[in-house]
């Protein structure tokens, strides 16, 4: 398989409302994390940071234009790879240890990361067998009900365990916008990892169902509206509840 050039690795798309989507197009869709950049008055926010196989700071000017708070929706490898590049780092308390000590098994690089997840390999010297994420100890630990304050925009932390113990969603009430991470998105959900919990997952889905959502930006796949949000969760709950 050929290797991509670093300048081609990331794709940046303006979405709306000062929100941009950054992703890694040569990673296959199922493994390709959505990184969400939000422009704020006093500082910007980045929700998740990809696999970390190419520097975000070096190749995506958007993330260096302002002071930036890098939030981890959770600590799987596809979401935290470039967190170490940003001095202001937030994660839920229950996954602080994983962000600080991201061993291959703990962040699911083992077993998921092989050459098969790519359409083009990352630039040299990348190798799937030795892929690692750099330690990025959090500078702020999040709890349910905390706020990420960008000056003019405020995102409430909603603890959404189930996919992983310290998963969070971010809710901007003023715009009815939800960043959902991996607890819910418009594609196959992952409920069977070593630290997944079925009871927590169900409770998180019930909680998110009740939000007056206008738009959802998930951890993977495309964004969707409130009608689709409720349809996805309703179908999931119906399947569980029989």
Q: How far is Cα 19 from Cα 224, in angstroms, rounded to an integer?
A: 14
Describe the strand order of the beta sheet including 35-38 as a list of residue ranges.
11-16, 19-23, 35-38, 44-47, 68-71, 88-92, 140-142
CA dihedral 9, 170, 39, 82 (to 10 degrees): -30
Shortest CB 76 distance to Zn ion, Å: 4
- Piece of 121-129, 141-149, 215-223, 232-240 that binds Zn ion (CB under 5 A): 215-223
Site residues for Zn ion, 217-236, by CB under 5 A, read 219
Site residues for Zn ion, 150-189, by CB under 5 A, read 182
Rounded to the nearest angstrom, the gap between the alpha carbon of residue 50 and the centroid of all alpha carbons in its chain is 8
SS3 27: strand
Please say which residue, 37 or 76, places its beta carbon nearer to Zn ion. 76
Shortest CB 67 distance to Zn ion, Å: 26
Count of residues of this chain found to bind Zn ion when the rule CB under 5 A is applied: 4
- Piece of 44-52, 72-80, 121-129, 172-180 that binds Zn ion (CB under 5 A): 72-80
- Piece of 39-47, 78-86, 94-102, 121-129 that binds Zn ion (CB under 5 A): 78-86
Quick one: which of 76, 92, 153, 195 contacts Zn ion (CB under 5 A)?
76
Please say which residue, 161 or 219, places its beta carbon nearer to Zn ion. 219
Rg of the chain over all Cα atoms, to the nearest angstrom: 17
- Piece of 21-29, 110-118, 143-151, 214-222 that binds Zn ion (CB under 5 A): 214-222
Please say which residue, 95 or 182, places its beta carbon nearer to Zn ion. 182
If you ran DSSP here, which 8-state letter would residue 85 be given?
Answer: G
Instruction: Read off φ and ψ for residue 156, nearest 5 degrees.
Output: -85, 135
Residues 6+ apart with CB under 8 A from 125: none
Shortest CB 173 distance to Zn ion, Å: 25
Instruction: Read off φ and ψ for residue 112, nearest 5 degrees.
Output: -75, -35
Whether 183 contacts 160, CB under 8 Å: yes
Shortest CB 138 distance to Zn ion, Å: 17
Quick one: which of 48, 78, 85, 146 contacts Zn ion (CB under 5 A)?
78
- For residue 14, list its beta bridge partners: 20
Q: Does 95 bind Zn ion (CB under 5 A)?
A: no
Give which of 60, 58, 57 is closest to 23, Cα–Cα: 60
The residues of the shown chain that bind Zn ion, judged by CB under 5 A, are 76, 78, 182, 219
């Amino acid at each position: 398989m050929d290797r991509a050039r670093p300048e081609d690795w990331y794709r940046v798309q303006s979405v709306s409302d000062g929100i941009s989507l950054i992703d890694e197009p040569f990673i296959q869709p199922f493994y390709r994390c959505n990184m969400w950049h939000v422009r704020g008055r006093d500082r910007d926010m980045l929700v998740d940071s990809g696999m970390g196989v190419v520097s975000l700071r070096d190749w995506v000017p958007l993330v260096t234009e302002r002071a930036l708070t890098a939030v981890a929706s959770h600590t799987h490898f596809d979401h935290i790879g470039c967190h170490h590049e940003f001095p202001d780092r937030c994660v839920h308390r229950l996954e602080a240890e994983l962000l600080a000590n991201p061993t291959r098994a703990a962040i699911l690089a083992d077993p998921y990361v092989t050459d098969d997840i790519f359409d083009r390999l990352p630039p040299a010297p990348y190798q799937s067998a030795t892929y690692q994420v750099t330690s990025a100890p959090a500078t702020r630990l999040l709890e349910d009900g905390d706020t990420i304050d960008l000056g003019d925009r405020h995102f409430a932390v909603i603890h959404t365990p189930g996919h992983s113990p310290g998963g969070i969603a971010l809710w901007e009430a003023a715009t009815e916008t939800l960043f959902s991470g991996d607890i819910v998105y418009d594609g196959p959900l992952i409920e069977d990892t070593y630290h997944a919990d079925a009871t927590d997952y169900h409770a998180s889905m019930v909680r998110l169902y009740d939000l007056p959502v206008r738009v959802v930006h998930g951890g993977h796949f495309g964004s969707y509206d409130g009608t689709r949000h409720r349809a996805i969760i309703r179908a999931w709950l119906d399947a569980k509840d029989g």
